[in-house]
């Protein structure tokens, strides 16, 4: 397949962009407490420019200190920030991309502890996700806000930005003016469509006056707010036509708000889920339309542009996952692309794997966000290295080591790679998780590494390996606690069910364990129209799951009729159920045809002690060290490979 349409230049206003790839604004977590981009920030965005993105829009930038969305949001409200911003724009320009500043104000979504003042908005309506008392902006203050946006744009131009994006999406300030849900004003900025759009029309005009006709402007807007009483596509499209009439140069179409619908969509949202809106808008406006929403496959991106459903494709978390996506597509290296799974483990929830791992990153690609300090360089001394286990941690270590020039052999007891991570790709909507393993294998082969499948090492075989260093990445095994009756009754393990090693033939099923694996096993079984009950001893189900994924998962389970019981401590396994304690009382749950155990995992590390007899350098990574999420295994594999 060719991807010619993705690499056709396009103009936004009078400015030519070299291709159709956009990196949209996302919080990187790399800015400083004094509201500046750090060196880490510059390297991070510069890497996406070097990776082939035609247009970079860094994270939102506040036009007022009273409009910041977080305590570190980058600033455009004072001339003192201009010199620092030049470092960012120069980094992006030297790598061949254009860069736009996103003009932002949080409005009623502000938090007083960040701004030092009471939040304000179009009307005195509190945000449902913050519940802080909000005051209404006066008419005079609205005109001052217009000037804040215009002067922010001028500072962006003085800093070397090629244009600006006016952030009128996701229920920040300008979106609050556009929405009936939050705009109850009775002056010229409320009521009719024309009045609610008036603030943006004034901003567009004032930016033209300060920055000139040749300084392009994009408007970002939510096509659907998913709010009762909020804007829907028919409303958003009216505003888009008004924006075109006011002189906007392109429209960046998103969905959702901070109060309704996922702005950042988990894997339950199908790739390209927003394209239907851009396709409809394309028939109504003549300016370029940019679409976004889990676009992670080059064939899909090409089809969107080639069919005229959008003019440009915005790759958000996909750009985090693989900054080289455009270059890999252009060079035909499709199999080397890390495709975003929508897991949200390290991009949206940026808690690192250790204290030094700060800012945005990716479960699949821990090099993301560390461009200022992690570089894959040739090894000073080439070594023979064996990796035991072809799970995600072992494969990550192996391909990076091979790229650095080491001689790498991976030993895997099964006929396929992936280890217990293969479980992750079985539940509904998680098919993209399997592509990661394929990419690891592709890169390992490219750099000369070898995988020996169907090779289960014994301690004796271990001692015969001729290597300088040994990496143990043997993973984990299901945790089977010594509950009375567990050995004699019909209990099957969740991993066996997900991998097809055990078939659930009964209609009524009890899943013992309500962590992520237990809940996803239940969802998998719901596909077969079973009657499922999940029990767990904790107060919340799937508490080990990131919240945006968890909320959708639990909603899906509930809609499927799944019974979910918490604070249930199993004391005995019966032939058709369990005896348990709940809130101080003994209960019996019975009448089940099948029972599935999903009580977590334990480290599997059978070789370490014996290996130390033969090798002076033995490294244990991932679940073999301690059973945890895959992001830790991959991070530890990469980190170790950089150090050897």
Q: How far apart are CA 326 and CA 316, in angstroms?
A: 13
Q: How far apart are CA 246 and CA 564, in angstroms?
A: 53
Q: Is 447 a known active-site residue?
A: no
Q: At what angle do helices 139-158 and 82-94 cross, to 10 degrees?
A: 50
Q: At what angle do helices 39-50 and 82-94 cross, to 10 degrees?
A: 30
616 DSSP 8-state letter: S
Q: How far apart are CA 222 and CA 170, in angstroms?
A: 6
Q: Write the DSSP string, 201-242.
A: HHHHHHHHHHH-TTS-EEEEEES----TTS--HHHHHHHHHH
Q: Pairing state of beta strands 55-56 and 61-62?
A: unpaired
Candidate list 3, 172, 268, 632, residue with the active-site label = 172
Is residue 361 within 8 A of residue 323, CB to CB? The reply is no
Q: Pairing state of beta strands 476-478 and 491-493?
A: unpaired
Q: Is residue 462 exposed (0-12), middle (13-18) or buried (19+ Cβ within 10 Å)?
A: buried
Residue 137: φ, ψ to 5°: -65, 140
Q: Where are the beta strands (DSSP E) in 52-146?
A: 55-56, 61-62, 74-75, 98-104, 120-121, 135-136
Q: Which two tokens mark 295?
A: 């676009």
187-193: which pairs have CB atoms within 8 A and are 24 or more residues apart? 187/139, 188/139, 189/122, 189/139, 189/142, 190/122, 190/123, 193/235, 193/238, 193/239, 193/242
Residue tagged 């927003």 (tokens): 274
* Helix-then-strand count for the chain, H and E: 19, 29
Helix ranges (H only) for 25-81 are: 39-50
Residue tagged 């719901």 (tokens): 526
Which residues, 6+ apart, have CB-to-CB distance to 80 below 8 Å? none
Four-CA torsion 278, 279, 284, 288, nearest 10 degrees: 60
Is residue 432 within 8 A of residue 607, CB to CB? The reply is no
Active site residues: 172
């Amino acid at each position: 397949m060719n991807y010619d349409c993705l690499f056709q230049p396009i103009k936004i206003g009078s400015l030519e962009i070299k291709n159709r790839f956009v990196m949209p604004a996302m919080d990187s977590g790399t800015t400083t407490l004094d509201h500046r981009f750090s060196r880490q920030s510059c390297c991070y965005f510069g890497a996406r420019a070097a990776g082939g993105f035609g247009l970079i829009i860094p994270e939102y930038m506040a036009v007022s200190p009273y409009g910041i969305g977080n305590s570190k949001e980058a600033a455009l409200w004072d001339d003192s920030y201009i010199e620092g911003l030049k470092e960012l724009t120069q980094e992006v320009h030297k790598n061949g991309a254009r860069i736009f500043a996103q003009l932002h104000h949080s409005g009623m979504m502000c938090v007083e502890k960040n701004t030092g003042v009471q939040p304000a908005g179009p009307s005195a309506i509190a945000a449902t996700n913050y519940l802080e008392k909000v005051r209404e902006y006066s008419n005079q203050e609205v005109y001052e806000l217009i000037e804040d946006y215009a002067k922010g744009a001028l500072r962006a131009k003085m800093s070397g930005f090629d244009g600006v994006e006016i952030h009128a999406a996701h229920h920040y300030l300008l979106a609050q003016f556009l929405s009936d849900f939050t705009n109850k004003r009775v002056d010229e900025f409320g009521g009719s469509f024309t009045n609610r759009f008036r603030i943006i029309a004034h901003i567009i005009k004032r930016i033209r006056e300060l920055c000139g006709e040749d300084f392009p402007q994009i408007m970002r807007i939510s096509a659907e707010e998913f709010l009762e009483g909020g804007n829907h596509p028919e409303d958003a499209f009216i505003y888009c036509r008004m924006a075109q009439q006011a002189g906007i140069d392109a429209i960046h179409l998103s969905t959702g708000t901070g109060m309704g619908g996922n702005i950042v969509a988990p894997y339950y949202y199908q790739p390209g889920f927003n394209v239907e809106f851009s396709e409809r808008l394309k028939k109504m406006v003549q300016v370029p339309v940019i679409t976004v929403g889990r676009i992670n496959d080059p064939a899909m991106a090409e089809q969107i542009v080639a069919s005229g459903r959008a003019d440009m494709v915005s790759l958000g978390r996909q750009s985090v996952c693989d900054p080289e996506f455009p270059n890999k597509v252009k060079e035909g290296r499709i199999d080397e692309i890390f495709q975003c799974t929508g897991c949200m483990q390290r991009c949206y929830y940026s808690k690192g794997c250790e204290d030094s791992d700060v800012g945005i990153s990716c479960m699949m690609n821990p090099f993301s966000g560390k461009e200022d300090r992690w570089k894959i360089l040739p090894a000073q001394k080439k070594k023979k290295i064996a990796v035991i286990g072809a799970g995600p941690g072992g494969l990550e270590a192996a391909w990076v080591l091979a790229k650095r020039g080491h001689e790498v052999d991976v030993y895997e007891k099964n006929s396929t790679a992936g280890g217990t991570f293969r479980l992750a790709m079985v539940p509904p909507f998680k098919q993209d998780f399997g592509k990661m393993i394929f990419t690891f294998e592709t890169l390992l082969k490219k750099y000369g590494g070898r995988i020996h499948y169907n090779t289960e090492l014994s301690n004796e075989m271990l001692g015969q390996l001729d290597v300088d260093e040994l990496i143990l990445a043997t993973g984990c095994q299901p945790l089977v606690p010594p509950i009375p009756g567990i050995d004699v009754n019909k209990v099957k393990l969740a991993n066996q069910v997900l991998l097809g090693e055990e078939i659930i033939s009964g209609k009524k099923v009890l899943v013992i364990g309500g962590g992520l694996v237990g809940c996803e096993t239940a969802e998998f079984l719901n596909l077969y129209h079973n009657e499922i009950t999940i029990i767990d001893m904790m107060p919340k189900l799937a508490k080990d799951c990131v919240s945006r994924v968890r909320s959708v998962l639990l909603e899906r389970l509930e809609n499927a009729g799944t019974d979910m019981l918490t604070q249930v401590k199993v004391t005995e396994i019966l032939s058709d159920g369990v005896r348990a304690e709940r809130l101080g009382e003994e209960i019996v749950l019975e009448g089940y045809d099948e029972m599935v155990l999903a009580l977590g995992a334990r480290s599997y590390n059978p070789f370490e002690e014996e290996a130390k007899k033969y090798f002076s350098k033995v490294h244990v990574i991932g679940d073999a060290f301690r059973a945890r999420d895959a992001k830790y295994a991959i991070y530890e594999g990469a980190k170790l490979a950089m150090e050897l």
